[in-house]
């Protein structure tokens, strides 16, 4: 089966997935640009092994997109069984969709997630037009389903897949011991008795100001480690003014180094105001970390629904109170094992296999 994939940048998790999918089909991937301007240089992946990668020439649009008129020649010449459009809202994606629609070339739109907003009339109509033009839409779960149907996609044309950035080999087989955590904490210079971790850019959308405003109520023996690059002046000032000596801002680091922080921690917190998914939730669960996140995080809504692996809270909750409640809950000691069981359903291998299953169903292909 020949598949053409249209993507914006070679992000690490996307390349890992495409490498896995490339084991299962003849895969060509068109990238709009080589890197996102708002990401650390180390964030960009370069380990392309199992698919043909084409970096198109184009005019940069925003931080991670470019308008690449040449996309049409690749679609026209390839004789693909199916084309997958990841960035349907980029100029290149819309241009490609319009061309395929006019030529009756089958394509699907892959959505990592979505947040329903009150779009103005024209914006709503454009989204509806492009989304409903696809043969099918791929969805990460219920919240994404609602988003797609809001713009007119029929439920029968929506196919769910498990979205993740984690390989099977990265998911713990069982929770690590207290002694193993102690070794990691000594290595990382963590002095507190309890460790809370969060990972994300220091931007307003991630909601760290909400966490900082209340975490002064926590004991100094509860360390909060936020890994995300260079903190903004706002966060540095808040830490200073509130005397948050147990809050630590950690620079950006690659996933190999970051894994030690996941394994050393007791809990993962993501106070996000909006995340169309939130892959850090997958990564935390894979390391046996119970998660607290908001009802604005689609990964949380999809993976924490039954409460076995963490809690969903309201955005403007008292974060220190919610953290204490989870630590003190009767089932907290059982949560690491439950987290791992949830994570096993969300591996890159399962993600790739589900995509191929969907592609076969849509095309009627046997191989």
Q: What are the φ and ψ backbone dihedral angles of 102, each rounded to 5 degrees?
A: -70, -30
* pLDDT confidence of residue 39: 52
Residue 101 sits in the same domain as residue 217: no
Which segments in the chain show pLDDT lower than 50? Answer: 41, 43-44
> What is the token pair recorded at 54?
């084409």
Given its phi and psi angles, is residue 73 left (phi above 0), alpha (psi -120 to 50 degrees) or beta? Answer: alpha
Do 63 and 191 fall into the same domain?
no
Q: How much is the pLDDT for 120?
A: 77
For residues 12 and 149, state if they share a domain. yes
Is 221 exposed, middle or buried (CB count within 10 Å of its CB: 0-12, 13-18, 19+)? exposed
**Claim to verify: residue 18 and residue 160 sit in the same structural domain:** yes
- Res 43: pLDDT: 43
Residues 297 and 357 in one domain: no
Tens of pLDDT, residue by residue over 143-169, are 999 999 999 999 999 999 999 999 999
Q: Which residues contact 87 (CB under 8 A, 6 or more apart)?
A: 6, 7, 8, 32, 65, 93
Q: pLDDT for 271-285, tens place per residue?
A: 999 999 999 999 999
109 & 172 share domain: no
Predicted local distance difference test score (pLDDT) of residue 367: 62
Three-state secondary structure call for residue 276: coil
Query: Do 310 and 353 have their domain in common?
Result: no
CB 260 within 8 A of CB 187: yes
Tell whether 172 and 34 lie within a shared domain.
no
pLDDT at 302: 94
How many residues are given for the chain? 367
Contact 230, 251 (CB under 8 A): yes
Range 67-74, long-range pairs (CB < 8 A, 24+ positions): 67/32, 67/91, 67/92, 67/95, 68/30, 68/32, 68/92, 69/95, 71/6, 71/30, 71/95, 71/96, 72/96, 72/99, 74/4, 74/28, 74/30
Q: Are residues 187 and 331 in the same domain?
A: yes
Whether residue 182 sits in one domain with residue 108:
no
Which residue matches tokens 């999918």?
21
Residue 18 structure tokens: 């495409």
- What radius of gyration, in Å, describes the C-alpha atoms of the chain? 21
Rounded to the nearest 10°, the torsion over CA 53, 55, 56, 57 is -160
Distance CA 46, CA 31 (A): 12
Alpha carbon 131 to its chain centroid, in Å, reads 21
156 shares a domain with 240: no
**Range of the structural domain that residue 255 is part of:** 168-344
CATH (domain of 333): 3.40.50.2000
When divided into structural domains, the chain yields a total of 2
How far apart CA 186 and CA 205 sit, in angstroms, is 32
Alpha-helix residue ranges (DSSP H) falling in the chain: 12-21, 71-78, 91-103, 121-132, 142-150, 178-188, 208-214, 233-241, 255-264, 279-286, 298-303, 319-328, 335-344, 348-363
- Domain co-membership, 19 together with 75: yes
């Amino acid at each position: 089966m020949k598949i053409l994939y249209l993507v914006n940048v070679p992000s690490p998790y996307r390349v890992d997935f495409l490498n896995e999918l490339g084991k299962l089909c003849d895969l060509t991937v068109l990238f709009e640009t080589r890197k996102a301007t708002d990401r650390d240089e180390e964030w960009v992946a370069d380990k392309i092994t199992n698919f043909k990668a084409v970096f198109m020439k184009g005019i940069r649009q925003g931080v991670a997109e470019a308008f690449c008129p040449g996309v049409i020649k690749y679609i026209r010449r390839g004789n693909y069984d199916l084309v997958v459009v990841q960035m349907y809202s980029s100029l290149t994606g819309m241009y490609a969709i319009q061309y395929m629609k006019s030529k009756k070339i089958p394509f699907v739109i892959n959505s990592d997630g979505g947040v329903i907003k009150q779009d103005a009339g024209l914006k709503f109509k454009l989204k509806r037009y492009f989304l409903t033009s696809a043969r099918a839409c791929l969805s990460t779960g219920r919240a994404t389903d609602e988003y797609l149907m809001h713009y007119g996609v029929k439920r029968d044309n929506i196919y769910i897949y498990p979205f993740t950035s984690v390989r099977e080999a990265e998911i713990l087989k069982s929770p690590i011991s207290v002694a193993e955590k102690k070794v990691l904490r000594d290595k990382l210079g963590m002095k507190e008795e309890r460790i809370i971790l969060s990972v994300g850019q220091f931007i307003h959308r991630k909601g760290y100001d909400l966490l900082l405003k209340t975490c002064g109520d926590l004991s100094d023996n509860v360390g909060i480690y936020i890994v995300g690059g260079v903190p903004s002046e706002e966060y540095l000032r808040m830490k200073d003014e509130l005397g948050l000596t147990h809050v630590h801002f950690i620079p950006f680091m690659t996933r190999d180094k970051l894994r030690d922080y996941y394994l050393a921690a007791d809990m993962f917190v993501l106070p996000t105001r909006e995340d169309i998914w939130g892959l850090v939730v997958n990564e935390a669960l894979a390391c046996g970390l119970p998660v607290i996140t908001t009802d604005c995080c689609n990964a949380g809504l999809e993976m924490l629904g039954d409460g076995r692996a963490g809690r969903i809270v309201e955005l403007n909750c008292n974060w220190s109170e919610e953290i204490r409640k989870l630590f003190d809950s009767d089932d907290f000691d059982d949560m690491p094992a439950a987290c791992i069981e949830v994570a096993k359903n969300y591996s890159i291998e399962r993600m790739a296999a589900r995509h191929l299953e969907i592609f076969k169903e849509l095309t009627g292909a046997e191989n």
